[in-house]
Amino acid sequence: MKIQLLLGCAACALITHAADSLIVHSGWIDLNKNGKQDVYENAGQTVEARVADLLGQMTLEEKLGQLQQSHREADAVKKFGNQLHQGAISSFLDGSDLIETPVQRNQLQHLAVEESRLGIPLIFGHDSIHGFRTIFPIPLALASAWEPELFERTQTISARETAAVGIDWTFAPMVDLARDPRWGRIAEGFGEDPWLGSLYAAACVRGFQGTNPAAADRVMACMKHYVGYGATEGGRDYNSTKISDFTLRNFYLPQFKAGVDAGVGTFMSAFNCLNGIPASGNHHTLTEILRDEWKFPGYVVSDWESVGELIKHGIAANTNEAARLGLTAGVDMEMVSTSYHDTVKQQVEQGIISQAVVDEAVRRILRVKFRKGLFDRPYVDETLFKTAQLKPDAVTLAREVAAKSCVLLKNENAALPLSKQIQKLALIGPFAEDAGSLLGCWAGRGRAEDSISLATGLRAKLSNGKGLTVRRGCDAYDSTNLFQKEIQQAVKAASVAEAVILALGEPANWSGESSSRAELGLPGRQMELFEAVVATGKPVIVLLINGRPLALPRLQEKAAAILEAWDPGVQGGNGVADIVFGDVEPAGRLTVSFPRSVGQVPTYYNHLNTGRPGLGAYTGQYVDSVKDPLYPFGFGLAYTTFAYGNVELSATSAKADETFAARTKIKNTGTRAGEAVVQLYIRDVAASAGARPVRELKGFQKVKLNPGESRTVEFIISEKELGYFDAQGHWLVEPGKFQVWIAADSATGSPVDFELVK
Ligand code: BGC
């Protein structure tokens, strides 16, 4: 018998007949059959004591229930009622529109908390990748702002909106390093640099979880997809990856480790096969590295059916083997597929899987549920969600970050910024009025009707609002129609305009999951539209709306200006207009290289040297193209110009336990105020455990300068910036020569030498 006492309510004590144990809810105290409160029910106890107490009371069936995550649909209460009663489900994730409110969520929670024997609360998960209802720019765009704190602020808002509908846990950050723009999921990550990616990973965890993830406006974060997913062959989603341990340690793992160091609650195992072993059955990465080396205390959820998919990968013969491989490798919770639920009981009883393996998985899941405060506050306020979405501070921030994420790629003859006094402005292209596409992939519960189109944002700035003529020109990707008439209308509008803006790019669903591309040009008839408008002789300003680096050498050749606006989110039109008219100075820089052609892929700045570097024959050059990217990592222009002085070091040699300074003078040589993103790069010239990249980003500072103003920018360098990992994960700081750059991007500047001595 379970006895519940309602605390703080003079009215009553309520007695229910349910099971041997007890359940606590806010305001309630549940007493066990001895008339005492269980340790796990007592919020005053430590998490570890509560976990141990609860684990000690669970049957094997209840334990296995904690390993199951199911998909929540409109009929979930009816469909899963029985299972919830038995404690057979641990978590739900959402896909459908029903998560606009917390009502059904609380009903499901009620079944788990009030009607199961031990009353273990459910944890509800959802993909709030770059916003819930207030959709911010895609992560790749936000990375271009080079402001991790700004990203943290967006994720704090995202946590608030997500938590208000009763979601406790979000499947982000996605920290997969990606070097192949054909892969649609490059949009979800932070680009090609592990150092910058680590700052963004940690910022995201802080933004979601805050200092106390149990707070009502916070959610648990999830590092995904562990690991190597971004190195997918041919850029095809879900494809195999081959990454040496040395490369894994130095490029693919650091962002995940940064999440662990920031206190992330959970990890998600990836879909891909890594060096022949699927990531969701990979004991080396999930247990040896994540648990044993990094001491990660939280749990790992599989990606969607990725435990079941171990069979298709060809390492499990059947569901039994898939479950055994996934669980013993270190995947604690199974998303959607049910191989743990279906087979593990029998396998434990037969001694094939040890009880200790199950206990460890359950312990990890319970730990996070306690940490999230779900035992002490299982329900959410059902009224809050109405006022929590799209609040003014969220909308203001969305506009600020949309502008800060823009990267100016070309600006011939100061084509930008435009004057607000312009009387005739032509805005042409399939993205001129398509507000929905600005939200990008994984747009949470974002709505096209919330979104400010480019036309709306630009029009609002003009002193003569009627001076904007908008023409679509052609469809975003349809190449079957000729669009002759629409192109002619666009040309006509361009011919009579004082300035012409072309809004070109990719639809939102051309990036993200399962949206790989074989080509990196503009889809459909957009290039024809571009050529026709350029042929008018008007200087053409291109606004790019896209979720990946595109290969657009012809635009670079013929456009007067190119502004990479990415998928800029719900305030995209306003944020982009702030840049176009110069109310905000462009200060974004690329965190991923833009190739000239698909054939150059992968092209990334932090590659190794060859034995034949440089230009010319026998240097690894193409016969039909240069080998450098069109726009390198770190690149981006301002409306003003900056001059970088020589790099000076405070010492030309130092020991590993000493620090030294590298500094240079930056001058604003233009006529407008602007912001430089001053970048520190280092190269370890000779490394014993494996060659190091030709350059690696190790620091940056954003510096605002007025016209003519100079400032000395200084970086303090220590062993943290000089070391690297060997294939086993040991941190090595080796004496010898290093090169140091302070530069505007990864392709410019001159290095100075430094010697690390014993
Ligand atoms: C994606 C994950 C996502 C999950 C849940 C999967 O298909 O790969 O990134 O978190 O679905 O929606």
> Quick one: pLDDT at residue 95?
64
87-105 in b/e burial notation, b at 16+ Cβ within 10 A?
bbbbbbbbeeebbeebebb
Instruction: Determine the distance separating the centroid of ligand 1 and the alpha carbon of 335, expressed in angstroms.
Output: 9
Residues 6+ apart with CB under 8 A from 708: 667, 668, 669
pLDDT digits (tens, 9 = 90+) for 49-108: 999 999 999 999 999 999 999 999 989 999 999 999 999 999 999 866 667 889 999 999
304 CB near ligand 1 (under 6 Å): yes
Residue nearest to atom 6 of ligand 1 (CA): 304
Give 303 Cα–ligand 1 centroid separation in angstroms. Answer: 6
Measured by CA distance, the residue closest to atom 11 of ligand 1 is: 304
**pLDDT score, position 5:** 42
| Nearest by Cα to 548 from 587, 525, 521 | 521
Structurally, the chain folds into a number of domains equal to 4
Please compute the mean of the pLDDT values over residues 512-533 and round it to a whole number: 98
92 shares its domain with 144: no
CATH assignment at residue 444: 3.40.50.1700
Ligand 1 atom 10: residue of nearest CA: 171
Atom 12 of ligand 1, residue of closest alpha carbon: 127
449 with 335, same domain: the answer is no
Q: Does the C-beta of 171 come closer than 6 Å to ligand 1? A: yes
Task: Answer whether residue 120 shows pLDDT above 60.
Answer: yes
What is the structure's pLDDT at 96? Answer: 62
**How far is C-alpha 364 from the geometric centre of its chain's CA atoms?**
24
**Is residue 3 scored above 50 in pLDDT?**
no
Q: Are residues 222 and 141 in the same domain?
A: yes
Could you say which of 120, 144, 174 is where a domain stops? 120
Give the separation between CA 168 and CA 128, rounded to whole angstroms. Answer: 11
Q: Judge if 412 and 364 occupy the same domain.
A: no
Percent of the chain with pLDDT over 70: 95
pLDDT of residue 9: 33
143 and 289 share one domain: yes
For the segment 252-276, the average pLDDT, to the nearest whole number, is 98
Q: Does 621 map to a domain?
A: no
- For residue 390, the CA-to-ligand 1 centroid distance in Å is 24
Position 22 scores a pLDDT of: 34
Does 442 reside within a domain? yes
**Any domain includes 207:** yes
Report the C-alpha gap between 506 and 727 in whole angstroms: 39
pLDDT at residue 26, rounded to an integer: 42
Residue 509 structural domain: 390-600
Q: How far apart are CA 112 and CA 119, in angstroms?
A: 6
Residue 207 near residue 161 (C-beta atoms within 8 A): no
Question: At which of 120, 146, 173 does a domain end?
Answer: 120
pLDDT band at 181; cut points 50, 70, 90: very high
Pick from 68, 98, 120: which residue ends a domain?
120
Joined tokens for residue 124 = 């509800």
Q: Is 674 part of any domain?
A: yes
For the CA of 225, the closest atom of ligand 1 is 9
DSSP 14-39: EEE---SS----TTEEEE-TTS-B-G
Rounded distance from Cα 442 to ligand 1 centre (Å)? 10
Is the CB–ligand 1 distance for residue 93 below 6 Å? yes
Question: Among residues 303, 332, 475, 567, which one is catalytic?
Answer: 303
Round to whole Å and give the CA distance between 635 and 637.
7
> Would you say residue 582 has pLDDT above 50?
yes
305 CB within 6 A, ligand 1: no
Q: Please, which pLDDT band fits residue 343 given cuts at 50, 70 and 90?
A: very high
Q: Which of 21-25, 70-74, 356-360, 498-502 has the lowest mean pLDDT?
A: 21-25
Residue 4 has pLDDT above 70, yes or no: no
Q: Which amino acid is at 408?
A: L
pLDDT at 430 over 50: yes
578 counts as catalytic: no
In a domain, 268, yes or no: yes
pLDDT at 7: 38
Is residue 188 lining ligand 1, measured as CB closer than 6 Å? no
- Our answer on whether the CB atom of 434 is closer than 6 Å to any ligand 1 atom is no
Summarize pLDDT for 712-758 with one digit per residue, the tens.
Answer: 999 999 999 999 999 999 999 999 999 999 999 999 999 999 999 99
Q: Kindly state whether residues 558 and 410 are assigned to the same domain.
A: yes
Do residues 537 and 434 both lie within one domain?
A: yes
93 CA distance to ligand 1 middle (Å): 10
Query: Closest ligand 1 atom to the C-alpha of 174?
Result: 9
Determine whether the shortest distance from the Cβ of 224 to ligand 1 is under 6 A. Answer: yes
Which residue is closest in CA terms to ligand 1's atom 8?
303
- Chain segment 230-250, per-residue pLDDT in tens: 999 999 999 999 999 999 999
pTM, two decimal places: 0.96
pLDDT single digits (tens) 121-136: 999 999 999 999 999 9
Question: Would you say the CB of residue 72 lies under 6 angstroms from ligand 1?
Answer: no
Looking at residue 97, its pLDDT comes to 61
Task: Please indicate whether residue 129, judged by its CB atom, sits closer than 6 Å to ligand 1.
Answer: no
CA 522 to centroid of ligand 1, rounded, Å? 27
